[in-house]
Structure 1
């Protein structure tokens, strides 16, 4: 049995922690339509990871800093120019990814590390990685609870958020911080090219059926966990890439959900009535 091997057991626990992080953050990403930004942030991590590795620092911190810089840059560029937000995201996305590749190209030792960065290496997760992921999950959960009301107001009625003194700009910055944390914590498991699957797939699948935000989050956690477990099993028996298999199954959940939703004629999005601030 695959889970009798210690490295697979660590991969399982690491994947479950990551699925929890991605489910909580991904719900807000889906709700606010920030999928393109989150995808760009995941690729924009490369310069930070490369510099951190060259300097002997933490690639987790380096990646998180780069992801935040990407998001801040998008906001700044959108305000000081006539470019649309999507254009700013696209330009910074390509610019930061290219910068990372240039940095990596100067070091031959990055050949294997770059592959793991792009596609993940869930089977190499160690005890230290599990500790970092556990702390990240606790931080995400606490912040999600504390900022739930500002996040809801920001997602559905920014003007009302300002009227109620909920500081939408601060809430937006905190949400971007959570996205950065989720992406930085997840890239070791599924890689930056595939983290989008766990971050978006489960929440988007559940959002078609659930009517409340807590239900979407809980459902996304369950689907994410199922993607991790089934992905590791399929990878073990079919000898496929573990991270890619996990991400593929997470995305497949969305398409199955969309198909069933279309067949049943049930067109539901996340309900607002019970979640609005007053």
Structure 2
């Protein structure tokens, strides 16, 4: 069993595992609502739309986390404002903001001599470089995400399935949507500097989507997503260690593979004839 436990006896791999687990838990809470509301494109746009803030903070020698938060907040406000524009589809507004923010970020980063290194770190992160302070930040983000998810559960449910009914019930769907954007922003900002936008988006979407065919209640989807994200982190780090592959990309690949296997198994289950019909 040395091949299974050996990698996790190394201190930096242990921190990477804990970092991945915390990211998985935060993303399970936010990602479930993203999948249920069909907001995957928004999540991808916001994760990459942080680049201008990160680039400016890097060039000025400031805090990357603050730069990412400012950029993500600007992206969320822009999406909200364009969502109210007449004769403009929601996806069109998100797509335009996505391209504009990404282009602006690349322009800013290109002013730096370390352009390639900075952009690679932004996209892929370095999960094996997780520090103790990163774990503290992720634990704090998880606590906030739990509070927001618990407090907003009822309006989030109504918003996910029938926005007009949410308004009729007095659940203030606009405020609920803003809180949901805040939860998504928290998950992305808290995690990207550890694992990069690739892994954040992978763990935000793939585990909840994989759990969806097997769970009927939202808490069960969240629990399943948390378990799948955790297992993807463990298996990804294990494969990365033995195969010499990039850790973050391997974790994301395992998460997507879980999604594909889950939906393949769900499809086979639906095709199987029931005992009453056989």
Is TM-score (shorter-chain normalized) higher than 0.5?
Answer: yes
- Give 1 or 2: higher helix fraction: 2
Q: How far apart are the structure 1 equivalents of 2:20 and 2:271?
A: 31
1:35 aligns with 2:70: no
Q: How far apart are the structure 1 equivalents of 2:245 and 2:98?
A: 29
Question: 1:177 corresponds to which residue?
Answer: 182
* Alignment deviations for residues 166-223 of structure 1 (CA, whole Å, 9 cap, x no partner): 1111110011011111111222343213422100101001111101001000011000
The CA deviation at 1:79 is 2.4
**Partner secondary structure for residue 107 of structure 1:** coil
Question: 2:51 corresponds to which residue?
Answer: 46
Assess if the C-alpha contact under 8 Å between 1:48 and 1:62 holds in 2.
Answer: yes
The CA deviation at 1:138 is 0.6
The CA deviation at 1:69 is 1.5
Question: 1:216 corresponds to which residue?
Answer: 221
Question: 1:142 corresponds to which residue?
Answer: 147
Question: 2:258 corresponds to which residue?
Answer: 253
Mean Cα displacement is larger for which, 121-130 or 64-73?
Answer: 64-73
TM-score w.r.t. structure 2 length? Answer: 0.92
**Is there any run of 5+ residues in structure 1 with no aligned partner, and where?**
268-278
The CA deviation at 1:266 is 7.1
Note the 1:155-194 alignment, pairs <5 A: 155-194=160-199
Mean Cα displacement is larger for which, 43-52 or 110-119?
Answer: 110-119
1:238 aligns with 2:243: yes
* Alignment deviations for residues 216-267 of structure 1 (CA, whole Å, 9 cap, x no partner): 0001100000000010000000000000000111111110011001111179
* Alignment deviations for residues 78-127 of structure 1 (CA, whole Å, 9 cap, x no partner): 32352211111111111100100000011113432321111110011111
1:69 aligns with 2:74: yes
Question: 2:276 corresponds to which residue?
Answer: none
- Quote the RMSD (CA, aligned, Å): 1.5
Question: 1:115 corresponds to which residue?
Answer: 120
Q: How far apart are the structure 1 equivalents of 2:271 and 2:187?
A: 31
How has the CA–CA distance of structure 1 residues 89 and 152 changed in structure 2, closer, same or farther, with 3 Å as cutoff?
same
TM-score w.r.t. structure 1 length? Answer: 0.92
Assess if the C-alpha contact under 8 Å between 1:47 and 1:66 holds in 2.
Answer: yes
Query: Which protein is bigger by CA-based radius of gyration?
Result: 2
Question: 2:234 corresponds to which residue?
Answer: 229
Question: 1:130 corresponds to which residue?
Answer: 135
Assess if the C-alpha contact under 8 Å between 2:134 and 2:194 holds in 1.
Answer: no
